[in-house]
Each structure stands twice: as C-alpha cells, then as structure tokens.
Chain A
C-alpha cells in the first residue's frame, strides 16, 4: 500500500474509524434523533400533478383538526420566503422563480403546495388529507427531444421555450478531423435519470429564540455554511444570528449539497411560531422531491483512423434540468462537457450543451455529477470504435492515452490534468485480471455457447473541487487548528463529512504533523457555530482541499509552538522534532519538553518570547490553484444468460490512482461504495416518469437500490501518482468508483453479446432489456 514518503506513523495506515463506536452502538444523533421540548411537527402536501394551475386551495378543515397549529400555502409566504436559490452562473441562463411553496401553478409531481404544523407528526399527517386542492391540468413536458421543439408546450411562459441555456465549444478543427478520418462513428447515448436515495432521508429542525434573537437550524446537509448564508436570504434573517448544524448525516451523495424549500419553510415557521419545528422527509417525498441525478441524452460522433487514433469528437448534449433549478442544477452537465475526452488525447472537439426544462424534479449533483456521464460517453464510443476497427479495446486505449511526460496535460475543453500515468495503472489492472489469457478463455467459452464479456473503463476525472473560479460559491476550504491548554488538539474543519470518515483521516494527518497521539485530536465539523467558515463536502474535495487547509493551519500552529519551545529550551526552532507527544532538539530526545507543557505555557503566557501572542490557534483558508485528476482502470468479466438476460458479474478489478493515500481502509470503502452506485446505474436503477410526468418508480418496491446479493466483491489495487495541486499530493476518492463502473459494466455486457452483433444496450441493463436485445439480434432486427 502506498503511503506518503517520509517518516510518518499514521498517514497511510488502515486506522479504524473514530466515528464508529457511536454509530455501531446506536448512540449517534441524526436530525430525527434530536428532541427539543415543545417541538412542533411539519408535513408538506405535494402536487400529484406534473403541470397544473392551482385553482383553489381549501385548508379550513385541516386547520380545524385538533392539534393543528397552522396551515400555510404559497400565497401565505410569497412575500416572506424568497426564491429557492440556484448558485449557477452560466451565460444566458434563464433562471425561473422557484417559490418554496407553489404559487398559482405546479410544475412537477412532488412540488410542495402547502405545509401543516401540528403538535404531533401523526396529526400533521392526518391534516394533509383534509386539504382540498382544485387543479386544472396543463400540457406536460417530459421528453427532452420534444421539449426543445418549437411547438412544445412551455413550462415558463416568460421564457418562450424550454431551453434553459446553450453552451457551445469549438476547439481545434473538428470539421477537418471528421472529413479526413478513416471512420466516423455516431451514436445516441442515454444516461438515465437516477435517484440518490441516501439511507437517511432529509430532515430539518429549527429553533428560534426570541430573546436572544437567534435561529438554530439542524439539517441533514452537506453544506452547513452555505445553508446558513442562503437561509438568511430566504427568510430575511441576519446571517450572523443563524447557526446551522449538520449533526450525524446519513449519507447524501450530492442530494444534500443543496438548499431546499423545506429548509426555508421550516425555518420560517419556527420564527413565526416561536417554537421548534421539525420536518422529517418520508421516503416517498425523498423520491419525488429530493434532487435526482444524471438524465442526459447525448448525440455523439467520433472520428477515428484505421490505427485507432481518435482525431475528433462532436456531440450534442441534452441535459434535463427538471422544472426548477436546485442549487447547482445547470452546472452539473457542464462537467460532462468539460470532461468529455476522458483519458484520451482528442485534439478536435466540438460540443453543444443544451439545458432543457421539463416537468420533472430538478436534477443536480449525484455522486460523480456530470463526470460519470462524460466517462460513459467516451468509454462507450471508444469501445464502439474498437468494435468497428476490429481492434482489442485495450489497444485503442493505449493508442490514445497521453504519455506520462506530457503532464500537466491540457485537454481541449480547457481543463489541465494535474498528473498521471495512465499506462501504469492500466497495465496493473490488466496484469491482475490476466488479460492476455482472458481473451483466449473468452473465445473458448464462447465456443461452448457462453456469452462472456470483458469490459474495460479507463477513466480520468476532475476532482478536488476546486479553484473558486470553477465552483459556484467558492472552492476554497477553511480550517482552524487549536491546541488547548491541556495539549489536546481541536481541529475545526469547514468540510462536512457524512460517512467519509474525516474524523479519522484528518486526525491521522494532524497526529503525524504534530507528533501527538491520535486520541488527543478531535476533528469537529458540521457546525457553523464552531467553525466560522467553510464550504462543505462534495466533489471529492474534503481531503485535497479541506485536508490541505487543515494541514497548513496545523503547520502554522506548529511553527508558533516551535518558536515558543525554542524559547523555553533555548534552541533553534528549526532543529525541533515533534514526536510522541514531546518536543525535543533533533538528536536529544532525553531533553524533551512535553507537548502539553508547551501548550500550557502558551496559554499561561508568563514566559513568552516578545513576538509571540498568547494561545495556540491558527486558521487557514486554502484556495486550490487547480483541480486534481484521479484516474484508473476498471475491468469486469460478466456472463450473460441468453435465455433470461440475467447478468452475472464474475470478476471486478479496480485499479485507481488517487495520489497519496491517507487511510487505505477508508479509500477502499469509498471505491466499493462508488462502484456499487455506478453498477446500480448500469444494471438496476432508473427513475421512470410516464408521459404525464408521473413518477412510476416512487418507492423502494420499484426503484432498485442494489442489495447485498446484487453487487460483486471487488479486487482493489492502486498506483500512486502524487497530485501537484496540494502539499499532500492527494487527489480525492469519493467519486472514482461511480465514474468508472457504469461504463465498465455496460462495456462488458455489450462485449458479451457482440457475437450476436449487439452494439449497445440502454441502461439500466435489466434482464428484460438484455433479453429483448438478444431476441432482436437473433431475429436480425437492427438497432
């Protein structure tokens, strides 16, 4: 296992997590586990219609129900709660007003229309059934191809059409590349809509203390600091009197990288009613009204020469926004656009990205956010090219990789890949799976009538978000490191982990840096009252950006401590070693001073050198100069049952390069989870709306989150190409698995069926769909 170079004790070690004892004993506190005295309970009534005028809302019967405190509608709060925010800035972007509760018109199934507050959640639920709403149905827009036609019904009349924005790119000489290419391969690829399904649904608890004039909001969020700012704007409450706490958060995958209507309404109600108000999302609401992911249709062409060199790429990308924007909705497909050449040198690229409004829930960041789509596009196209050329999919990849000495490597979309050695990683994966023999085994098994496929995905991604110019709302991160009087170390970080384990990995980094026991370090996060500034956890940024902010803050404190120690020991600060809770002059461990003694001295402040202030605390804001670019190679072997279309994944090898590894246990956990989600997209998951905008997969009975029996065991390995983007050389690992696995699995299944002439199958590859493709192929039905 790779580790940071140098004498370190904990970085690189598979330390078990410090957050686990509370979690495995049921002692942690998610929002719904927090109980405040006199809490009122909120429930939302949501639209059953995808597009309709609200003709009348009658809340009288609900208000009369014993235990109901209030019922509010969009009309009641239209002047009091402002538009649900979107932070995206794109030239020409049409931004609709997004009321927290619908006013006049509903535009997707699940849009909140009214809110009930009652003394008990059971009563709040009962009251919903007593609200009568009259709707007048309007034509529904669900299909992106139709939505951009001039005769389509329009969702926002003020816009004139359903096109949210268009974004062109023309790099190199694409027309020439296509004119001169030996082959042009065209394909329509669909990246279906997914539903994130964090196991903990969303939840909000808000408390307004009239005397103190403070508003405290506990929310299951990835971005407590952003939420604080936006809440102040949403409910017109001074930001410096708001405290947002993300307590234990039960997974998010991007779905809680947002500011939601319910957060605003609950905060508003708590202020109005003067009592704590709690709302806990039901799973059904989570399906309709928490953001969805993916949902792109891509018309792609690549130009390729006989030797496998890809010379050009042309694509029209249709990205489904949904009816309104959430925080980053329009930005997500921009990442697809930026990352479209994947791990390959493609000099000529022409793109048109079109954001499309439809009567569906908003899409937004779902694990990978725009990048699995890009990987899917390029990895499918590369395989189609190999198929067309009769080339081994391995060879076409090597043919088009940049060479290791070409890094930093700029791709035509303007992204500069930080570091890489794609050949090494791919070779390692090929070696583990024994690729050379594999193709022979495949032919032998094919002769026995088996449909065996080998799927490859070699990806490069954009991670470690990121330079502020590339991240709406800022891409920096902030951390404060404080050494308490007793020598205990408090790390405050602006990232907001919700399963990733930074209470452990950050403590590893800091323990090595300060030479103290890991148990003497507490990593505190998710509370704007404790950590004054921060951005949050998303985009595989916590370690490369947040970890770096912490490391630098820690070094600043350490420098100060060294100065003080040097003063106490009458030594040169540069000669000091921090180790095992002691500080000593290099080579003289016997004359060590206790770390805690120096900490006390800093706080007692009676013997400080003249240029040193009391206390030991430093805050650092780290602004990354560039993104990081993890990469890797995933290879899967599948067998397809031709009679039923069932898919058996027989091996799955993942070799990832995420730069230096802080904690291999946690890293592998991230890769496993990512692969399960990417594989979920490939095989099982898909949000289905009917032509009337009704969500047909509105529960776990119909939307398949992979179960233990439905995912394979993964063989993991790594290569280490340090990132130059940060001092630790880390790249980030949160999304690699998701980015790689979808294309890997689909490539494998298509490869398995290639003897039948199959070139593509639309995801998810359900047994029914695979069987149908086989049947059609057997009958010679062309695509």
Chain B
C-alpha cells in the first residue's frame, strides 16, 4: 500500500518531459492515468526512481478532427472518449470501447496513451486501435515518428516505443460510408480485463462485406488482427453461416494464446471465435 521513494517531476511541455527521460534514463517512468503504475508501485513490484507526471502537459489532451482523421491526445481519458460528441459522431467504436474499460473511476482517470504504452495483453484499446488502423505518434530525442497500430504491439507489455520516447497522439482514420463497428468482450470478473475482446469494423454494401477489420485482445500475449477472418468474409454476404465460418479463423496463426487461472488456452480460443462471430453479427445487423 506504500510505494518506495522516488523523485517526482511534472513537466509542462513534451520537450521538458523528453529532457527528463534523457536525463534519467531507465530509472524514470512516465505517469499518465496511473491505474496500472501506481498499484504496481504500491505493491512494490515496481520501484522507479523518478516519476515524470505527464498530466500537466495540456498539449497531450483533447480530441480533434483533421482531414478525415480523429486526432486524440495521448492523455485523453477513457471517459472523455466515452462521452466525446466527436467520437460518437465519427467513430462510435472508440466511445464504445472506452465505455467497456474497467469502471467509472478508472475511465475518469485512465488515458488512452497510458493504456497503449502499458500494452497490457488484455487491455481493451488495442483491439479497437488495430481494427481502426490507427497510427500512434511518438516523439523522442530524434523527433517525431508515426507507428502503425499493426507494428505497435511487439510483445507482452512491450511496444515499439523506445524508453526515451513519449506517445503524443493517436491518429484514427474516420471510416467511410456504410461502415460500422462493435467492441464486445468477456471480462475477467475480478479485474475487469478482457478474457477476450473483439473489435470489428466492417463496411457493407447491400449485405456484402466490402471490408472487414477484426482486432482481438486478451487472447494472445500480443493483440492482433484476425487476418484469416477478414479475408474469409471479404466479398461474401453477411449470412450467419458465412460469419460463423469466418469467425472460426479467429485464432488462426496465433501460437501464443494466453492461459492463466481464469481461462485456459482452449477457452480463450473459443471466446475469440464466439466473440468475433457476435461482434461481426452485431456490426452487420
């Protein structure tokens, strides 16, 4: 319940934060919403020497639209996304995913950037971010770069972000016409994290699948796009049979399915399929 000692700095700009990361190297840890980091510190599973609190950097907050893209500041809270008028109008999947995270208090404080950087394999955002083909903007000592969602998650709790980089924005292309999305998950009842979470974005014209993107979280140590499902259904009619057949491919090629005291590997595989089927059915209906 009591963290170890650390120095605390709350920079007011990204540049200042970057300088602090450079100065302190691996001993520094970025603090965003804090819902993963602070409990870990209270249990003394983590004892960073320096905490760089990003919450006072106004530039990292807010949601805006620019040339067909929603630009979400990394420090935007889940609650802001859940209730954002812009998100609801342009990409309701974002609001829907935000609403599925943890509980009210967690959504009030937790941030999309913090969640992505932490890369919990059962977090909710990765599914949607993958399905939406978002890009993650990060700045480091060498300037800004953009990372595709599909390149972002590298391993368990491991992302493409370098230790001295900071996520600044998430750019989410606004899907075109006839496109709908859904996020469905089965939470682990104690923690609320996903045993399986599936985000679907699909474009349909006269019941034919023009395009489909399926992001899956909670199932594997790295969230992934269910490419087999996507290609199977593309061009086909959204019939129950077609959807069910495609959903069977939800774990194709996934060789590191998670297993723990809450859910076996077989069960997670099953959930991935069932929730994929249901998410597609829901979005296609």
Contact = CB atoms under 8 A, between A and B. Distances in A.
Asked if A and B form a direct contact in the complex, defined as CB atoms under 8 angstroms apart, the reply is yes
Contact of B267 (A122, A704, A707, A771): A771
Interface string B169-209: 00000000000000000100111000100000000000000
A700 B43 CA distance: 13
Nearest to B274: A643
Given A644-B271, A703-B190, A772-B267, A125 B261 contact: no
A715 interface: no
Given A688-B261, A768-B264, A282 B1 contact: yes
Interface string B251-262: 000000000011
B270 interface: yes
B186 A767 contact: yes
A116 to B, nearest CB: 12
Nearest to A701: B191
Given A696-B261, A768-B262, A701 B190 contact: yes
B163 interface: no
B263 A768 contact: yes
Contact of B261 (A643, A702, A710, A767): A702
A556 interface: no
Contacts of B56: none
Contacts of B270: 643-644, 771
Nearest to B189: A704
A766 B43 CA distance: 27
A126 B186 contact: no
Given A696-B261, A710-B189, A768-B195, 20 more contacts: A121-B2, A125-B1, A126-B5, A129-B4, A643-B270, A643-B274, A644-B271, A646-B186, A684-B189, A697-B261, A701-B190, A701-B191, A702-B262, A704-B190, A707-B189, A767-B195, A768-B262, A768-B264, A768-B267, A771-B270
A772 B186 contact: no
Given A644-B274, A771-B270, A772-B264, A125 B189 contact: no
B145 interface: no
A772 B268 CA distance: 11
A669 interface: no
A702 B264 contact: no
Contacts, number: 53
A284 interface: yes
Interface residues of B, number: 20
A710 B43 CA distance: 27
Contacts of A696: 261
Tell me what chain B mostly uses at the interface: helix, strand, loop, or mixed: loop
A129 B5 CA distance: 13
Interface string A757-783: 000000000111001100000000000
A771 B195 CA distance: 14
Contacts of B263: 768
B88 interface: no
Contacts of A122: 2
A644 B44 contact: no
A710 B5 CA distance: 38
A700 B271 CA distance: 23
B190 A702 contact: yes
A710 B186 CA distance: 13
B264 A129 contact: no
Contacts of B4: 126, 129
A762 B111 CA distance: 39
Nearest to A645: B267
Contacts of A688: 261
Contacts of A284: 43
A688 B274 CA distance: 28
Contacts of B5: 126
A44 to B, nearest CB: 13
A125 B2 CA distance: 7
Nearest to B193: A701
Contacts of B262: 702, 766, 768
Contacts of B190: 684, 700-705
A771 B265 CA distance: 13
Contacts of A121: 2
Interface of B: 1-2, 4-5, 43-44, 186, 189-191, 195, 261-264, 266-267, 270-271, 274
B191 A702 contact: yes
Nearest to B42: A282
Contacts of B274: 643-644
A702 B266 CA distance: 20
Interface string A307-351: 000000000000000000000000000000000000000000000
Interface string A617-661: 000000000000000000000000001111000000000000000
Most chain-A CB neighbours within 10 Å: which of B4, B195, B263, B267?
A: B267
Nearest to A643: B274
Contacts of A643: 270, 274
Interface string A118-146: 00011001100100000000000000000
Contacts of B2: 121-122, 125-126
Contacts of B186: 644, 646, 767
Contacts of B264: 768, 772
A643 B43 CA distance: 37
A779 to B, nearest CB: 12
A121 B42 CA distance: 13
Contacts of A707: 189
Nearest to A698: B43
The 10 closest A-B pairs by CB, nearest first: A704-B190, A125-B2, A701-B191, A768-B267, A704-B189, A643-B274, A768-B263, A282-B1, A122-B2, A688-B261
A634 to B, nearest CB: 22
Nearest to A710: B189
B50 to A, nearest CB: 18
Nearest to A120: B2
13 contacts: A125-B1, A129-B44, A643-B270, A644-B271, A644-B274, A645-B267, A701-B190, A705-B190, A710-B189, A768-B262, A768-B264, A768-B267, A772-B266
Nearest to A708: B103
A367 B264 CA distance: 31
Of the listed residues B43, B190, B267, the one surrounded by the most CB atoms of chain A closer than 10 A to its CB is B190
A143 B238 CA distance: 51
Contacts of A771: 267, 270
Nearest to B5: A126
Interface in A674-726: 684, 688, 696-697, 700-705, 707, 710
A110 to B, nearest CB: 15
A372 to B, nearest CB: 21
Contacts of B191: 701-702
Contacts of A702: 190-191, 261-262
B208 to A, nearest CB: 26
A695 to B, nearest CB: 11
Interface in A727-783: 766-768, 771-772
Nearest to A122: B2
Interface in A458-517: none
A696 B261 CA distance: 8
Nearest to A684: B189
A763 to B, nearest CB: 14
A126 B1 CA distance: 11
Nearest to B278: A643
A334 B175 CA distance: 65
A120 to B, nearest CB: 10
Interface in A225-284: 282-284
A644 B262 CA distance: 13
